[in-house]
């Protein structure tokens, strides 16, 4: 496969603060991990110690040929108590951005990647009417300090993920069943204990992953709008958007209505909040196929990833086209695309085929500005712990030694070819 990405097209990788930094003890996820009976397979602990080793990690990414790094800032570090901002933490993230610039990586900064400060749970979490203003004030501090250094910003990562995965989250006791509010929910004991560890009760313990009903979604939209307004006021040159997790929604005969309803649920209901955004962050991993009775299982014999969904890199191009049709004037950056596998040859193939689909979208005139692979390193994959390997770079967590995989070199080589005819 050959590619002809235009000058300025960004190719890099992504991480999330909670998954790589380690010891985010003020975060609500830390409480979930350490709650009695927690469904988390592992404790994050030091994670891959990226908080300490970021300079070496950024230099390594650059040495492999990558040209951009999408990472997140941990709200719980920046604002460990309401209205109390950490000078130490903001200087740490300043150091990360400057390290990117030093090594020729364009920084793409995400302000919220799932995890929230524990104190927010004591204030009612993501159902509190104050949360949009609180989030905007956090963004104001970050951009007052760092705005001139940040060319691209995501307010939120995968704002639609709770809607996509509500059924799964219900099964593991993360959210109440449809139609039952938090106040009347018989939450599992581990969640009661997580709330206790945050210094509150389970009725107040409304985490980001519970934002899947209309009222909470409207609060999230307002938080995005306020954050965007704040960022643009302080740093008008920063390009602002958010990211969404989008499978390629397909149907077999008789399943067209189911597929259409699914797309409305996971994408269309959020479109109104994007008016005024500078770009759209698209994140894709696979496809979903619908029949008359709903979602179908992958076909017998289909290749599955460690996450048990279908290995289907072609989904990326198809989803780009659907988003471009809905948002015809908005540039797209692929802010995540990856595969959980211990077979790195399959990861390399996933990258090649995914980028081939992206290239065809560019050839059709669709405005795609970049591709960030998930993820830079094998890391802490939330409830799945350390068992899922998405990374371009392996990490020996006993020694924290980094070992680039061949897939990292494949992506780096493609990144180095950008602008060459």
Q: Residue 31 has which token pair?
A: 């409480």
Alpha-carbon distances, residue 331 vs 172, 231, 241, 274, 282 (angstroms)? 36, 19, 10, 12, 10
**151, 106 Cβ separation under 8 angstroms:** yes
Exposed / middle / buried, residue 156 (Cβ in 10 Å: 0-12, 13-18, 19+): buried
> Using alpha carbons only, how large is the chain's radius of gyration in Å?
20
Question: What is the C-alpha to C-alpha distance for residues 115 and 227, in angstroms, rounded to an integer?
Answer: 17
Tokens 């950008």 label which residue? 418
Whether 36 is catalytic? no
Contacts of 325 (CB under 8 A, 6+ apart): none
Of 33, 74, 158, 336, the catalytic one is 158
Q: Residue 97 has which token pair?
A: 């951005």
What letter does residue 232 receive in the DSSP assignment?
H
What letter does residue 293 receive in the DSSP assignment?
T
Give the E-state strand segments of 277-348 in sequence order.
280-284, 287-291, 294-295, 332-337
Q: Catalytic residue positions?
A: 158
């Amino acid at each position: 496969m050959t590619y002809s990405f235009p000058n300025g097209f960004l190719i890099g990788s992504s991480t999330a603060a909670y998954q790589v930094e380690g010891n985010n003890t003020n975060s609500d996820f830390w409480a979930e991990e350490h709650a009695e009976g927690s469904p988390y397979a592992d404790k994050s602990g030091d994670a891959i110690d990226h908080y300490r080793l970021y300079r070496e990690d950024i230099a390594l990414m650059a040495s492999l040929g990558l040209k951009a790094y999408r990472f997140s800032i941990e709200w719980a570090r920046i604002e460990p108590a309401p209205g109390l901002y950490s000078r130490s933490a903001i200087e740490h993230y300043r150091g990360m951005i400057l390290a990117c610039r030093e090594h020729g990586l364009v920084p793409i900064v995400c302000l919220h990647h799932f995890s929230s400060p524990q104190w927010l749970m004591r204030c009612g979490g993501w159902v509190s009417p104050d949360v949009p203003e609180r989030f905007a004030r956090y963004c104001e501090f970050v951009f007052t300090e760092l705005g001139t250094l940040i060319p691209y910003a995501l307010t939120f990562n995968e704002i639609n993920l709770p809607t996509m995965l509500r059924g799964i989250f219900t099964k593991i006791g993360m959210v109440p069943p449809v139609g039952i509010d938090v106040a009347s929910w018989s939450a599992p004991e581990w969640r009661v204990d997580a709330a206790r560890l945050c210094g509150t009760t389970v009725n107040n313990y409304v985490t980001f992953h519970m934002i899947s009903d209309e009222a909470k979604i409207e609060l999230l939209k307002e938080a995005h709008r306020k954050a965007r307004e704040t960022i643009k006021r302080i740093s008008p040159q920063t390009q602002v958007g958010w990211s969404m997790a989008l499978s390629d929604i397909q149907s077999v005969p008789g399943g067209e209505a189911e597929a259409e309803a699914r797309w409305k649920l996971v994408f269309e209901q959020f479109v109104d909040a994007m008016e005024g955004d500078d770009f759209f962050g698209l994140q894709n991993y696979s496809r979903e196929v619908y029949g008359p009775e709903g979602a179908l299982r992958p076909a017998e014999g289909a290749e599955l990833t460690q996450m048990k969904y279908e290995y289907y890199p072609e989904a990326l191009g198809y989803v780009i086209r659907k988003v471009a049709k809905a948002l015809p004037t908005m540039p797209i950056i692929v802010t995540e695309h990856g595969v959980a596998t211990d077979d790195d040859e399959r990861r390399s193939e996933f990258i090649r085929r995914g980028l081939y689909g992206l290239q065809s979208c560019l050839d059709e005139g669709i405005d795609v500005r970049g591709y960030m692979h998930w993820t830079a390193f094998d890391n802490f994959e939330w409830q799945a712990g350390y068992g899922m390997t998405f990374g371009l770079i392996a990490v020996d967590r006993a020694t924290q030694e980094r070992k680039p995989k061949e897939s990292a070199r494949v992506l780096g080589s493609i990144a180095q070819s950008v602008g060459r005819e």
